[in-house]
Amino acid sequence: MADVIPYNREEKSAQPSSLYLPYKSTEFRAPKQPLVILPHTLSEVTGPVYGHGRMLPVDADLTKQHAGEPLGERIIVSGKLLDENGRPVPNTLIEIWQCNAAGRYIHARDQHPAPLDPNFSGAGRVVTDAKGNYKFTSIKPGAYPWRNHPNAWRPAHIHFSMFGPSFINRLVTQMYFPGDPLFAFDPIYQSITDEKARERMVSRFDMDSTIPEWALGYKFDIVLRGRNATPMEH
Amino acid sequence: MSKQRFGQTPSQTVGPFFHFGLPYEGDSNLITGDAQGQRIVVEGKVMDGAGEPVPDVLIEIWQANAAGKYDHPEDTQDKPVDEGFHGFGRCATDKEGVFRFQTVKPGTVPGPGNTLQAPHLVTFVFGRGMLKQLLTRIYFEDEAHNANDPVLGLVPDARRATLIARKTNSSAYTLNIVLQGEGETVFFDY
């Protein structure tokens, strides 16, 4: 069997270090030993591309998962999943989760004294279309406090999890909203030390996808690793 | 084709609250039908650098089927795909830091050149306090092919055991994942 076509390596300036002490929980969870450099084999360039189950429209509309409407600013988040060559990544699963408009997660361990919303769970999933496009409807998540340092607050964000064409492409990130005053104080956002790379995590407000008298549009394109050649078509 | 390069989107932690977003029913049981091969349980505990169990990480595994075939279009080997087994699993650790997968023992798969890779699970670890996921592998102690595995061969001798699950009975294997410190698991730069 021919050798596999490897993917590009991690873009070091775009990716965080495992150890970033301003984010305190990294202290005991970052490896201390050097990572072993792994050439990509068949095990890495393959991955789960089938069988994500049947998608329902409510999976991608977080405002329609309960009997009533959730509170908060209705938003439509859409964009493209691409690789570094600008090629769309079609037919792949994106999973999202977020807190509600008051900054509270529907999670037993979230003790922030902000109200839960009986009409909002905050989890969604969608499969990209043939051109790599995806779209979610939701409400804008709130900022919330955490205990990393005194008076610590997370900027509003939506967690995004992507698969892509191989297991190597697996990416979990957070999407932020433009102009958030908390960016300067947030060690998770600041863990990406390159400013240009950091800003790739910030969505942009988009009038074209804003629906009159209904919802604000935000665009968020996500870029996975690419590779320099394409495998033979079957 | 456009020559423009798009920058990679940075990784961010899954945080402490992924449990309502990522796990799904049956996620840690990879056997979805009448799968071929030996059914096994692979379990272990995730530990941090303070020696404490880690109750809030998510483990994902990807593996070949019992014949050594990945259910993916780039695996062009002349081996059968198994309709009852697709090879992906996900497990959030419990309060004691324990994960547990029900799966089948994978077959050998090709490695670089003419090498053969011993049966293994490609393993990602995601968690709070982990700005990016860590990549490791889980091998099995009762596999003769371990001796010539090209990836185990990249790992310093003294650390190789951190990737090899011990057999605890005829169908169960155990391997702890140590994020940091003594017995630290080998993680890969990929």
Mutate to test the interface with A, among B3, B5, B9, B155 (most CBs of A within 10 A): B9
Cβ of B49 within 8 Å of Cβ of A83? The answer is no
Which residues of chain B have a CB within 8 Å of the CB of A161?
14, 21-22
What global pTM score does this model have?
0.96
- Give the Cα-Cα-Cα angle A206, A209, A214 (nearest 5 degrees): 110
B127, closest residue in chain A (CA to CA): A29
A 76-115 residues inside an 8 A Cβ radius of B? 82-87, 95-97, 99, 105-107, 109-110
Catalytic residue positions of A? 105, 144, 154, 157, 159
pLDDT digits (tens, 9 = 90+) for B63-99: 999 999 999 999 999 999 999 999 999 999 999 999 9
| % residues pLDDT > 90 (chain B) | 96
User: A116 with A99: CB under 8 angstroms?
Assistant: no
pLDDT digits (tens, 9 = 90+) for B93-129: 999 999 999 999 999 999 999 999 999 999 999 999 9
Judged by DSSP in three states, B24 sits in coil
* Model confidence band, residue A3 (pLDDT cutoffs 50, 70, 90): confident
- Helix and strand counts by DSSP (H, E) for chain B: 0, 12
Question: Could you tell me how many CB contacts below 8 A there are between chain A and chain B?
Answer: 247
- Report the pLDDT value the prediction gives residue A215, as an integer from 0 to 100: 98
Smallest Cα distance from A30 to chain B, Å: 6
User: B30 with B87: CB under 8 angstroms?
Assistant: yes
pLDDT of A202 strictly over 50: yes
Q: Which residues of A14-27 are buried (b: 16+ CB within 10 A; e: fewer)?
A: bbbebbbeebebbe
Give the span between the Cα atoms of B155 and B140, in whole angstroms. Answer: 16
* Model confidence band, residue A234 (pLDDT cutoffs 50, 70, 90): very low
- The ipTM assigned to this model is 0.96
| A157-162 β-sheet, strand order | A123-127, A93-97, A157-162, A171-176
CA-based end-to-end distance of chain B: 26
The Cβ of residue A56 has, within 10 Å, a number of other Cβ atoms equal to 11
Nearest one of B18, B27, B79 to A106, comparing CA atoms: B18
